[in-house]
Structure 1
């Protein structure tokens, strides 16, 4: 922190952007000041009282930063940021952009009477009379050229200067005059926008949307003046000053730089003004106007700014209105012209029109400044604006209501809208989403073909049905399993798969079925997923049968499946994977059992039973449960222990988990995309899988040892638990591990412990670690190979290839698919 800071003020120069951004010319002043005394009004007062001329804008940056880091200084908020930068390094650069000084009109002095030019032209007798051509574009050295090259200087009395800084010429002529000469008709080819009467603008007809403007009978005293100023805009005297502001793009030139092109090649939207002599020769003026930047947060207008069309101009006005909280409105628009007014007594005025020769929309009149109060209920904010701004949020949360939407607009924009407007906006969004929803199913075959071409060895199955034999195909299900994901699972994951289903929350009703494996770090590895109409035995059988073929299963009894208590899943597993081990998530069993048996003590005893690794240990924990609550023990025995207790799990797959938490983690990643249409939802899942593989490929490089962080954390916990145990060695391969009345036997060669913890998961338990240390070896050497770094790298060695966007998708020759038929839910319909 510095008690005093230096403000380095650059003034008198101008900005130049070729070959790079810089401030050319001028002088530099240094102002030492207490940062606590700096405020925006005080700083502007100091600058205006100094010899800094007309200040149009101020910019600031750190001395160590480049010119691209310039920020505009225009209010107290930006001044606080200036103070923060200055106090951090003790100094700050301030650049002054100067505006034009006030024009002073000087009457032309009459020529001396005695001066009579004597010019004679000798004509050859054999030559016919010819008119002599005089070059009027001669630039005499030492004379000051006109501000706009090639423009005629009006005679005294023919030009009048208005308050808004525009110079009018009685001989001016532009597109508006052409319209009047044609009887009000405007060329319809100047703008080809859509049918949206709220945003779009058509030269063929005037905008008459009542929700955007007042009645045509409303007039303004300055209307005639605006029309004159607009019509004479094309002939206003241009200057070397470059139009610059936050809402447009900067096109800067040095004072003596000659313009040689129609527009800036780096900015196609910046144009040069152009005029013609009486003989048709075009002459370029030296003024270049900025074009509007649609990415700007707060649009700022100025005379001459270019827009693509009237639609973009109107959007910019609405954006300005929402930010400034001014009750602007669109007056009855004429063909090719849009006028914006504020109140009857407010001087604000903005007019733009279509420029035929440049094929763009341009601001012709702009009177800045308001004397009206801020308004929080704006006429220009209509149903379509609300629908456009909140369509994505409503798509993510389809259950949002009109009252909640109204509160959301109030919180984000501080605007008051009626509940009826919010309701109409929701209806408009629903109709828009309905159209997009139907289009998704027409493109689903193209999307599937693109994925199959870009990602080899993948499986994408689309199932359709027909209501009657000759009816069009209706979407039913889609199954996705990418080739690299499938190959990575088979080479690096254990034969343990978690399966689960979750509901879709958007307009499409149904469920997502998913299969997730476990990698070498005991983290989730998505294998396959499907969108089905309902979760039942038939849909689960269809999904598992496709998964069976993709994984090329030869011995179903070697596989283990973990699931919740889904409907029909047990029957489907017994049909597709006979003799496979099936586990139920203990957390869901506890949720059902605890509905009638609550309490911390009962919960603790339940998890002791679930994590019992041998039958004797389970019996002891059940006996403790019976002592606390006999009925709770009886109810718990109704759930088959082989589905949720470790004592009955197989030890070949090296997985002792009793929960299906990896599936829950996968479903949480689908939370946002579950409310999207079909193709965007599938794309979100594909992109998330692709990014996860890329992330894990970098993650494994940071492992300090041969095993992952999750495995090492569990091993270290077992090492700590091994303290206090006594070891008795038989001299061959037998160890007795004792502590009090507890005693277990360990065989390092067989990789077995009588507690079965090492057998189940492949990570040495506390008893095994005691035997390993007694032998003088390291515990890491007895961790199962399935957890190694090499296996982990194999899992993520296959990446998903990127795919093209919708524009480049192949066009299939199959018939289009219709969206699924709406399913009538049981019970009373919801009130709209």
Structure 2
């Protein structure tokens, strides 16, 4: 610095103004005036890096009067050069600079500019002025009217500007580096010298992504938190050196050699199963049934690599785990979920039972669903169960109602290990207590005759009317008695709404097949035939998962009904070869369809048409929009994120014991031939196979014995069928969890609105000594003389009719 000050001291202020030029810049944007120690220090800082700087002396203030837009286009030949780029040697004896105190300087040596001097480990070579311009930015405003404007940056993401240093040597200098933005640059990384990374993890991810994107095998030769070196193959010159920079406290690209001489790779170590899962997790979220073959095509199209089938399978498994969560971890979160459910929805129930510290049963019901069922739905409950297709399996038991639009309405559900009488009994008992059902007489239960369900309903809902789903009844019927004629006749018997019609259809079934008739005779008709259904619940549905537009259907069927008015609302209706009496005032109809459903049948609609009455006006009130709004007038509040759940610290819940079965797990159950509807290809179920070699039956060419005798016999591989294992049916007692709810509780559940309105027509509970009224009634009956019952029952009437027919 001393020689520089001596040179500048040779130009007094009266001699002229002194300027210096930034290396690689022009007069319009690089000329700086030297008028203070700060401006001198700015120039001195750059001297060790560029060694030669240009100085200019303005004797007549020419630079202040020049138009700088014109200067940028002209040559600076007219300005005299005071100092050239040639190296100068200065003798210490000729200088007036005193040595700095505390430093020893040899008086015999001259102070020369060392050509081998290196200021930094990563010094820029000659001709790399553009590197300095991109990394160093100097701001200096001259005292004259000339103002040099520096380029502005639109956003902070383009580069990192270091704050001004308080040191005199670095005063006025800002360093500018380009940042690596992972959200934008990670998909296609491009490295540059001076690029900054936040940490070593980001550098490793960028190098791996670069390797996958360019299909080159890059290896880490040095991999630490503060220094990372990566190289390509030995015959390739590609190299990247990233190290920590003290100026930014970040990792910076110190050296980068671009360009590959190696061949592209088809298999890369960085294309791991986890990498594929993270990249294509959204694709599996949209299509969770994507096959490995389709997945392989997607990977090859986008990345142009061919990973193995096992790696693709592991990637799909990890993606599914990220989407649906870890099954084992979810079992241990049930305590916290139950508490969150009761907190967000007061009145909801969540019961969890363990057996040997493993999951056994779980019951869930929402308070909004229970209140909606009791307020706006009819007292009929449909029970069904299905398999859970997860690793640990299980069965899902459901209880649903029917809303005013004849669609399903959820009430409660449970997850059990095995579908059995014990599991169904536990579920029905919990449901009964949850809905506060004391008198089961007004309720109707429809089941699908699953394993253990019928005796469980008989035990827990002993006074309820029990019905069977005809579709499930036909599945068992179809195993023994096949044919479309028998199927249609079975449905005709189930749809019979009167006893004479039921007798007629049963006789027709007897004429078609006596064995099928005997099979149906063993099933009680009040459980699957409309003629014996109770008209109290106003529902004649034969399936536990179906709905249809009944009013529109009956209007279309009324075109064949011809009426004959008898006066006072009484009509005689002729429908084809049958005649019916309809009394609109007394609401008596011989076909019983209006009584069963609450919806006018086609005979009643023909009578209402003559009375100028719309069919919608006489439909039962429990099909109205008011009841529909009552059923859905309660909200199911969403639960918070699982990070906000209260930790219950309950006993650890382990999943059920998993036993892997032989073979590939099935995605879908094997459907029966009558279940396949709407297909484009006919099923080959029941078709006899013919051999193309010997024209034999029930074998093909591969298994033909005659062909094997003619040629050499081949080895046959036989596989044994897996053995079935059944779970334990012993259950723990029900475990109740205290409800610490912070929301407003709506109080106890109300009584069913339908039952309260039609209490007189409902089935009364049996008289027992448990109540005062029951004990008093029993004492009165004992005091009164017994009367003989002279009214015949329905069974006796049927027997008498059969005897008369035989005679």
Matched, 1:566 2:456: no
In structure 1, the partner of 2:780 is none
Among 523, 528, 533, the residue aligned to 2:412: 528
Instruction: Summarize the Cα distance change of 1:391–1:158 in structure 2 as closer, same or farther, 3 Å threshold.
Output: same
Instruction: Summarize the Cα distance change of 1:399–1:773 in structure 2 as closer, same or farther, 3 Å threshold.
Output: closer
Larger gyration radius, structure 1 or structure 2: 2
Instruction: Summarize the Cα distance change of 1:818–1:740 in structure 2 as closer, same or farther, 3 Å threshold.
Output: closer
CA distance in 1, matches of 2:624, 2:567: 31
What pairs up with 1:6-405 in 2 under 5 angstroms? 117-119=10-12, 143-145=28-30, 152-153=45-46, 170-172=118-120, 237-238=134-135, 257=152, 264=156, 271-273=160-162, 276=165, 279=168, 285=174, 287=176, 289-294=178-183, 298-303=187-192, 307-319=197-209, 321-322=211-212, 324=213, 326-335=215-224, 336-342=226-232, 352-354=242-244, 361=251, 374-386=264-276
What pairs up with 1:395-544 in 2 under 5 angstroms? 415-419=305-309, 421=311, 436-465=326-355, 467=356, 473-544=357-428
Instruction: Summarize the Cα distance change of 1:421–1:155 in structure 2 as closer, same or farther, 3 Å threshold.
Output: same
**What secondary structure is seen at the aligned counterpart in 2 of 1:299?**
coil
- Cα distance, 1:582 vs structure 2: 2.2
**1:705-727 CA distance string (max 9 Å, x none):** xxxxx87x431222122113211
- Cα distance, 1:543 vs structure 2: 1.3
Residues paired across the two proteins, number: 570
**What secondary structure is seen at the aligned counterpart in 2 of 1:541?**
helix
**1:675-722 CA distance string (max 9 Å, x none):** xxxxxxxxxxxxxxxxxxxxxxxxxxxxxxxxxxx87x4312221221
CA contact (8 A) 2:571 2:581 kept: yes
- Cα distance, 1:731 vs structure 2: 1.2
Matched, 1:745 2:581: yes
CA distance in 2, matches of 1:442, 1:817: 5
In structure 1, the partner of 2:764 is none
**1:712-748 CA distance string (max 9 Å, x none):** x431222122113211222113221113311122232
CA distance in 2, matches of 1:768, 1:295: 71
- Cα distance, 1:256 vs structure 2: 5.6
In structure 2, the partner of 1:127 is none
**What secondary structure is seen at the aligned counterpart in 1 of 2:221?**
coil
CA distance in 2, matches of 1:561, 1:232: 89
CA distance in 2, matches of 1:374, 1:503: 49
Matched, 1:620 2:504: yes
Instruction: Summarize the Cα distance change of 1:273–1:418 in structure 2 as closer, same or farther, 3 Å threshold.
Output: same
In structure 2, the partner of 1:717 is 553
- Cα distance, 1:756 vs structure 2: 2.1
CA distance in 2, matches of 1:793, 1:394: 38
Instruction: Summarize the Cα distance change of 1:487–1:321 in structure 2 as closer, same or farther, 3 Å threshold.
Output: farther
CA contact (8 A) 1:726 1:739 kept: yes
CA contact (8 A) 1:329 1:379 kept: no
CA contact (8 A) 1:325 1:376 kept: no
**What secondary structure is seen at the aligned counterpart in 1 of 2:542?**
coil
CA distance in 2, matches of 1:655, 1:351: 79
Q: Which 5+ residue runs of structure 1 have no aligned equivalent?
A: 1-110, 122-133, 160-167, 178-224, 241-253, 468-472, 663-709
Per the normalisation by structure 2, the TM-score is 0.60
**1:259-285 CA distance string (max 9 Å, x none):** 9xxx95xx8x97434575754767674
Instruction: Summarize the Cα distance change of 1:325–1:608 in structure 2 as closer, same or farther, 3 Å threshold.
Output: farther
RCO comparison, higher one (Cα < 8 Å, 6+): 2
Instruction: Summarize the Cα distance change of 1:435–1:500 in structure 2 as closer, same or farther, 3 Å threshold.
Output: closer
**What secondary structure is seen at the aligned counterpart in 1 of 2:488?**
helix
Instruction: Summarize the Cα distance change of 1:383–1:398 in structure 2 as closer, same or farther, 3 Å threshold.
Output: same
- Cα distance, 1:767 vs structure 2: 0.8
CA distance in 1, matches of 2:373, 2:246: 62
**1:538-567 CA distance string (max 9 Å, x none):** 111111112112212132121122222221
- Cα distance, 1:532 vs structure 2: 1.6
Per the normalisation by structure 1, the TM-score is 0.58
CA contact (8 A) 2:340 2:646 kept: yes
- Cα distance, 1:481 vs structure 2: 0.9
Cα RMSD, aligned residues only: 4.9
CA distance in 1, matches of 2:130, 2:427: 69
In structure 2, the partner of 1:786 is 622
Instruction: Summarize the Cα distance change of 1:819–1:144 in structure 2 as closer, same or farther, 3 Å threshold.
Output: same
CA distance in 2, matches of 1:296, 1:520: 57
Among 435, 438, 461, the residue aligned to 1:551: 435
Among 583, 588, 610, the residue aligned to 2:472: 588
CA contact (8 A) 1:309 1:354 kept: no
Matched, 1:812 2:760: no
CA contact (8 A) 1:327 1:379 kept: no
**What secondary structure is seen at the aligned counterpart in 2 of 1:661?**
coil
CA contact (8 A) 1:172 1:232 kept: no
**What secondary structure is seen at the aligned counterpart in 1 of 2:479?**
coil
- Cα distance, 1:575 vs structure 2: 1.8
CA contact (8 A) 1:383 1:425 kept: yes
In structure 2, the partner of 1:762 is 598
CA contact (8 A) 1:398 1:505 kept: no
In structure 2, the partner of 1:216 is none
- Cα distance, 1:464 vs structure 2: 2.0
Instruction: Summarize the Cα distance change of 1:274–1:640 in structure 2 as closer, same or farther, 3 Å threshold.
Output: farther
CA contact (8 A) 1:402 1:423 kept: yes
Q: Which 5+ residue runs of structure 2 have no aligned equivalent?
A: 33-40, 53-115, 138-148, 663-720, 725-807
**What secondary structure is seen at the aligned counterpart in 1 of 2:360?**
strand
